[in-house]
Chains A and B, each alone.
Chain A
Amino acid sequence: MDDARISRGGLSPRLWLAGGWLLIALLAAIFAPLVAPQDPLAQDLMLERLPPFWLDGAEPGYWLGTDSLGRDLLSRLIFGGRIAFIVAFAAATSACLLGSALGLIAGYFGGWADRIISRVVDVWMAFPPVLFAILLVAVLGTGLSSVILAIAIIDWTRFCRVIRAEAMSQARMDYVESARIAGYGRIGIMLREVLPNVLPSVVALLSLEMGIAVIVEAILSFVNLSISTDDPTWGSIIAEGRLSIHQAWWVLVFPLITLILTVLSFSQFGEALKARFDPVLR
């Protein structure tokens, strides 16, 4: 597209903070084998429940302490980030593509297409999402791709609803009418005139959805329905931490902080991006 929009103005602090955290977490996850101080799977009963570095009894090299099997918490969080980000990107992108496409069609074309799509969305939203996810994973089997698929299958409706409403209001705009007078086809108008105007919302939702996917993956890991139990995931670390909360609070607290920071950053980053993408708000 000829409208490059991300080039002007200063970055807001919100965008900096959220983007900064996401970038650090993402880079750490990508380069986990290089960055992680320890092997995340290595157990050592001599080192069990070491506290974080500022407390008495901490060992150098185990910055955030260890869990009840003596595994390094920081390394586990870094490796857990890999799965979190893979799920976030893959699931959110799939949900986004499916939901936005259907929402655009429903909102712009209206009529039968809209009636059918909206009906499906209503039925879909009637299921409680977490239950839906657990059910789906039970059916699809555990594993990375089922988790991604389950999240996409459940959450496309978020995109669909919002984009449908926006496309609908855009479709009533005079510039859409002018494009029709000029002789553009319906699909051409949908893609060239309507889509660019709903894009800021798509971007914001996409980022938000990445955060949601991280939570859903954590919940699924927490109830032991996600990936194989060997690979550390934030959810499985939280689940383990919960069991040893009285002996080693850090095993619960650090993954929770990581999770919350990441989820918040995704949503804030999305909002900030939306503001920058929107030519009128910018």
Chain B
Amino acid sequence: MSACLDIRGLSAVLPNGQRVLRSVSLTVQPGEVRALVGESGAGKTMIGKAVLGVLPKSVRIVEGEMLIEGEDLGRLDAKARRTLIGARTALIPQDPLTALNPSRRIGAQMTDRLVRILGWSGERADTRIRQLLDEVQIRDPERVLKSYPHELSGGMRQRVLIAAAFAAEPRLIVADEPTTALDVTVQKQILRLIAQLQRDHGTAILFVTHDLGVVAKISQKVSVLYAGKVVEEAETTQLFDAPQHPYTRALIAATPRYTDPYASLKPVDEAVLAGLSAEIAAADQDWRPGHG
């Protein structure tokens, strides 16, 4: 069986030639949660955007392949790629406020996609949305469906987005720091909900986070990203038991109690970072697209 998501040697550059992704390889097997962890600016969001086909115009992919369920995105024309991505993936975004259209009602936004993109009947879409709202434990779906985004709390909005992401039964969900913008008290509930729906629906998730505590809770496998480079990948339990790369060890050391997802990160040990930066700078020296 082919992987749900297979990224092979993906490199991307900015217009000034600076590399934002450095030969990134990573797979997400069907039904698996793969965490992608790294500090802010490491390129986690870039990887998610690359998979979903929404990289900023300034970022150019210079090498590598991305396959969704065995289909190479690079070999499809733009329209077929959009269709494939639209049908098989979904995003749970970081900021649930800006991810919802402020001038359209929640209900219209949620059913719209099922009706227009997947061609469902309005009735079927409505039933489906209500079912999903129930799964994310929204008790008054009537009110929520009629609301505008700003009328809901951050936690409610994120529930809505989780419901929307699962509604079309995608194979792969990219969750980009889905709890970061939320109050600490709701973070735990939202995390639990995502884990619950993930198990129930068997959806594979690429779970982007800067928080090792979250990694420990939700994922089976982890990739550790630093400056656009995957420095280590492992089963989650292994990563914590026996981290191989110095950066991973430093990252774990910087998380006071990694089993507590709400403890904040301390700065990573500077000596480790200096070493890593030197290593990457050296690699950049003799890097050419296609030989990376």
Contacts and interface: CB of A to CB of B under 8 A. Distances in A.
A181 B99 contact: no
Contact of B86 (A3, A173, A182, A192): A182
A230 interface: no
A193 B87 CA distance: 20
A170 to B, nearest CB: 9
Contact of A182 (B95, B103, B113): B113
Interface residues of B, number: 28
A196 B103 CA distance: 6
Contact of A181 (B91, B108, B148): B91
A94 B231 CA distance: 59
Nearest to A194: B101
A183 B54 CA distance: 11
Contact of B85 (A3, A174, A183): A183
Interface string A263-282: 00000000000000011100
Contacts of A197: 101-103
Contact of A173 (B54, B89, B91, B98): B98
B82 A279 contact: no
- Prevailing SS type, chain A contact patch: helix
A190 B153 CA distance: 27
Nearest to A183: B86
Nearest to A280: B150
Given A174-B93, A174-B95, A279-B148, A183 B103 contact: no
A7 interface: no
Given A3-B105, A197-B103, A199-B103, A181 B83 contact: no
Contacts of A279: 102-103, 148, 150
Interface string B111-154: 01100110000000000000000000000000000001010000
Given A3-B108, A174-B95, A279-B150, A181 B90 contact: yes
- A182, A184, A193: residue with the most chain B Cβ atoms closer than 10 Å: A182
Contacts of B89: 181
A181 B85 contact: yes
B24 interface: no
B215 interface: no
B216 interface: no
Contacts of B205: none
Contacts of B98: 173-175
Nearest to A175: B101
A157 to B, nearest CB: 25
A178 B103 contact: no
A115 interface: no
A56 interface: no
A127 B102 CA distance: 37
B243 to A, nearest CB: 33
B266 interface: no
A119 interface: no
Interface of A: 2-3, 173-175, 177-178, 180-184, 188, 192-193, 196-197, 199, 278-280
Nearest 8 CB-CB pairs, A to B? A183-B86, A174-B99, A174-B98, A196-B103, A279-B148, A175-B101, A181-B52, A183-B117
Given A181-B91, A278-B103, A279-B148, 16 more contacts: A2-B105, A3-B108, A174-B98, A174-B99, A177-B54, A177-B91, A181-B54, A181-B86, A182-B113, A183-B82, A183-B83, A183-B117, A184-B117, A193-B101, A193-B104, A280-B148
